[in-house]
Chains A and B, each alone.
Chain A
Amino acid sequence: MHWARRLSQVFFMFLLGEFAFYGVFRCPFAVPYVSCGNCPVTQCPGRKWWIPIWAGILLSGLVLGRVFCGWACPAGFVSDVLGQAAPLRRKLAGSVDRILSMGKYVVLVAAVGVFVVLSNPRWAIPIRTGEFFRSVKLTFEHADSLWIGRTAFVLVAIGSGVVLSHFWCRYLCATGGILEILNKIAIFKYHRTANCNDCDECHEVCPVETRPAETNCNNCGDCARVCPTGAIKLGRTDGASARSRE
């Protein structure tokens, strides 16, 4: 684990952590983080910051693909920490991994559907302002069972990171889905050059169990230092060579 990435994660946890927390535990909407413009929860930092935050995430996606996931996302940070203990690391076959990875697009489509078709209904009673944990308690106390369901889904999925490293990020995160798409057209990313001899050292250390420029790679760069042939580079992709390796 490179210290710069940890430092960045701590920094962004400080910046985005509260918003992330509100989205999971206090956001009254079915799809959190995206209806902040008319949200009655006055305390949530998202009321002021949601547009710049999303603009930043999407822009980072265009430039550096899923870099947000590995360097800034609070849930990614939590998953990194949980993943340290994951006993099932590298236990999934490539084909299973690939199928499960489609899950994030399913969640993304569902979220967009709820947002557009149902115009993002409120499934919980907004606790407009209040003490941190008491408000969470009140939110749970008065929420719709649908809200309890979606929150439980998110928490269980993130928690599953203990068993299967980055379970949420790899298979279910809708934002991850958006960034995965952007990753394909991103200007810069980590990729393997022709020097690669398929030793799979990178796969060995990868927190999300992939290889540079492949599905779920979030450009964290952890692998670049372990490559015995120095084949992992950050930069504009040599599309042909990267593809020929797959």
Chain B
Amino acid sequence: MFKDFIGVGVPSRPGSRARHLPFHPCMNHEAHQEVARLHLPVAPKCNIHCSYCQRMVDASRMHEICPGLSAVILTPAEALAKTEAFLSQWGDGAVVGIAGPGDPLANEETFETLELIRSQYSRVTLCLCTNGLELPESVPALRRLGLEHLTVTINAVDPDVAERIHSRVRIKRRIIRGIRGARLLIQRQLDGLTAAVDRGMHVKVNTVVIPGVNEFHVETVAREAAARSASIFNLMPLIPRKHTADRSPPSECHIKLLRQRCKKHLPVFDRCKQCRADAEGVPGRPNALPIKREPLMNRRRFLKASGIAMTGTLSAPAIGLAADFRGESLQLWSCGGLAEAFIPANKLYEQRTGCAVSYTGAFAAALGKSLLGNAQTEVFAPRVLELAKRLKTQGKMLRFWPLCFTRYVLVTPKGNPAGIRGIEDLKRPDVRTVLSPGASPPGGEATLGILKKAGVLEAAQKHAVRNGDCVQRDVAAIVNGEGDVAVVEQRITRLPGVVNRVEVIDIPEDFIPGKPVPFVIGIMKWAKNSKLAQDFVDFIRSAEGQAFFSAAGFIPAVSEEGRRLTEKYGVKDA
């Protein structure tokens, strides 16, 4: 029933115009009771000063409810992990937004996070709230990310009033104080509002009602917002903090009166709970206070839903009740390609359990050779199924599970200048290819095999502008436009210096060689504490752990696609 977010009418009430509002929990009274939302606290920095705001990242203030507050700051990858867990709990109809604790548009991480989430969930509703200072320039980028809902906080449209609330603004590293800053802020807020509406976004305008400062100005703000076709207006009674700590909040009846007045101009939202920057759940329900950890039931429900074998997994403690392995350590070895996923995942696991993960990531064949010799480790995550099977035959690996799969793709420079649509275009004489015949196994030989199977190897070799021996260097030749196309693992396109600087095109699965595709994770016989090793493996294979792998460009084994590939490649421990 939540499939169609747009076009559900707000309940008609006296005074409100017949107007369609999106089914968003912060814009629609019905949705407010039903749709879950997640605020990702990825944006700590702010670019304006607000007299009422006291930004704070403090885990000990979980009971306070006020914008600008968060228990933690998440990195984009952590935010994606959080999102995966959240959506598996609430379903794809839930809304994922960024609301601070600073101004989202003043933080690069906001865009990285939205992009990461969009790359995994093409249909989830994303939203954002901002003070509007950076909005005019950000609208195109936000629209590209498929963002349809936006909240802009405009406390005044008169610089004299705004100056009393916002004593300074910072734009392009310059601080502008007083009336000039206030004037600039208002101009950019209104320009941004117009730009967003023009691009088809639903915009809510928030106004913080501060008695003695802007209480008689609120209706003017509403009128200006309505003139620029904002969808809905929201009055937020002041929560006295910081420079407004000695002021009293507006009375309830005063707010009611102001709402009545504003309703003459545009619909007014009157359920706002003034959520924290790390809020999650359904705002209209009492349990919507900030919840830090998933309750046991939901994770189980998810595991069941994703059809993972319940054995072993159920014994895993839920994340909320993470087992305590303080003072213990776990030695993990993995194929080096997984390092970008394991490093942040291990960090999160260490925070959760207190266990120290000592991690080595390097070429799997080398590590495997050491392990087949007399090296030891407790958990090993290799590429190539045969290696796991051999270690198992030797009795060195006790059990293993599918972990993730790599995906080979075509990369082109940004904008795809050669207009490549698929692998068959590598035949074209005008296409300058970049090959890496000398690169180590998952790069060199496998990629040439793909070209051969697709019947384009000869042409591709003929038009190669580079025959390198290092995938990282060769992909740099794509980034800087030296070549038009190369075959690489998708994980390479997520590396720093490459991510967002190339275009990615799929390669039909028929051409992909099976051998380097699957990764497994196994417990070795040297595991000191088998309960700890099992708990770690369970964490890595949980929705939360797997999110790091999907962020690093792999297909997680627990995803639908991953389960299909598990079957296809026979990734079974037997």
Contacts and interface: CB of A to CB of B under 8 A. Distances in A.
Same assembly: yes
Interface of A: 38, 40, 42, 121-122, 125-131, 134-135, 138, 141-142
A135 B470 contact: no
Contacts of A128: 336, 339, 361-362
B325 interface: no
B473 interface: yes
A130 B472 contact: no
A129 B361 contact: yes
Contact of B472 (A38, A127, A131): A38
Contacts of B472: 38, 40
Contact of A142 (B339, B366, B470, B476): B366
Contacts, number: 58
Contacts of B339: 42, 128-129
B359 A142 contact: no
B402 to A, nearest CB: 22
Contacts of A135: 360, 362
B359 A130 contact: yes
Contacts of B469: 121-122
A11 to B, nearest CB: 29
Interface in B436-452: 440
A125 B360 contact: no
B360 A38 contact: no
Given A42-B339, A128-B339, A138 B360 contact: yes
A38 B367 contact: no
B343 A142 contact: no
B143 to A, nearest CB: 34
B367 A126 contact: no
B264 to A, nearest CB: 58
A38 B470 contact: yes
A177 B71 CA distance: 54
B363 interface: yes
B369 A142 contact: yes
A128 B361 CA distance: 5
Interface string B364-389: 00110110000100000000000000
B358 interface: yes
A126 B363 contact: yes
Contacts of A125: 362-363, 366, 440
Given A128-B336, A142-B366, A142-B369, A42 B343 contact: yes
B336 A126 contact: yes
Given A42-B343, A142-B369, A130 B362 contact: yes
Which 6 pairs, one residue from A and one from B, show the smallest C-beta to C-beta distance?
A: A130-B360, A38-B472, A128-B336, A127-B362, A142-B366, A128-B361
A141 B369 CA distance: 10
A126 B360 CA distance: 11
A129 B476 contact: no
18 contacts: A38-B473, A121-B469, A122-B469, A122-B470, A125-B362, A126-B336, A127-B336, A127-B360, A127-B361, A128-B336, A129-B362, A130-B361, A131-B360, A138-B360, A138-B375, A142-B362, A142-B366, A142-B369
Nearest to B369: A142
A141 B373 CA distance: 11
A105 B375 CA distance: 41
Nearest to B476: A38
Contacts of B336: 40, 126-129
A141 B370 contact: yes
Interface of B: 336, 339-340, 343, 358-363, 366-367, 369-370, 375, 440, 469-470, 472-473, 476
B322 to A, nearest CB: 24
Contacts of B361: 42, 127-130
B360 to A, nearest CB: 3
A46 to B, nearest CB: 15
Given A40-B472, A130-B359, A138-B360, 10 more contacts: A38-B473, A42-B361, A122-B470, A129-B343, A129-B361, A138-B370, A141-B366, A142-B362, A142-B363, A142-B370
A127 B360 CA distance: 7
A205 B568 CA distance: 74
Q: Of residues B361, B369, B440, which shows the largest number of chain A Cβ atoms within 10 Å of its Cβ?
A: B361
Contact of B360 (A121, A134, A142): A134
A201 to B, nearest CB: 52
Contacts of A130: 358-362
A131 B470 contact: no
Contacts of A138: 360, 362, 366-367, 370, 375
Contacts of A122: 469-470
A150 B51 CA distance: 63
Contacts of B369: 142
A142 B372 CA distance: 13
A126 to B, nearest CB: 7
Given A42-B339, A138-B370, A129 B470 contact: no
B130 to A, nearest CB: 31
Contacts of B366: 125, 138, 141-142
A122 B468 CA distance: 12
A135 B362 CA distance: 9
A54 B473 CA distance: 21
B471 to A, nearest CB: 9
A13 B472 CA distance: 30
A122 B375 CA distance: 24
A28 to B, nearest CB: 10
A31 to B, nearest CB: 14
A142 B365 CA distance: 10
B385 to A, nearest CB: 21
* Interface-centre pick from B340, B360, B375 (highest chain A CB count, 10 A): B360
Contacts of B473: 38
B492 to A, nearest CB: 11
B347 to A, nearest CB: 12
A39 to B, nearest CB: 8
For A126, A130, A135, A141, which residue has the most chain B Cβ atoms within 10 angstroms? Answer: A130
Contacts of A142: 362-363, 366, 369-370
Contacts of B440: 125
A130 B361 CA distance: 6
A130 to B, nearest CB: 3
Contacts of B360: 127, 129-131, 134-135, 138
B363 to A, nearest CB: 5
Contacts of A129: 336, 339, 343, 359-362
Nearest to A47: B496
A23 to B, nearest CB: 18
Most-contacted residue by chain B among A126, A128, A130, A138 (CB, 10 A): A128
Contacts of B362: 125-130, 135, 138, 142
Q: Choose among A121, A126, A129, A141 the residue with the greatest number of B CB atoms under 10 Å from its CB.
A: A129
A147 to B, nearest CB: 13
A200 to B, nearest CB: 51
Nearest to A39: B472
Contact of A131 (B340, B358, B370, B476): B358
A28 B375 CA distance: 21
B277 to A, nearest CB: 30
Contacts of A40: 336, 472
B328 to A, nearest CB: 16
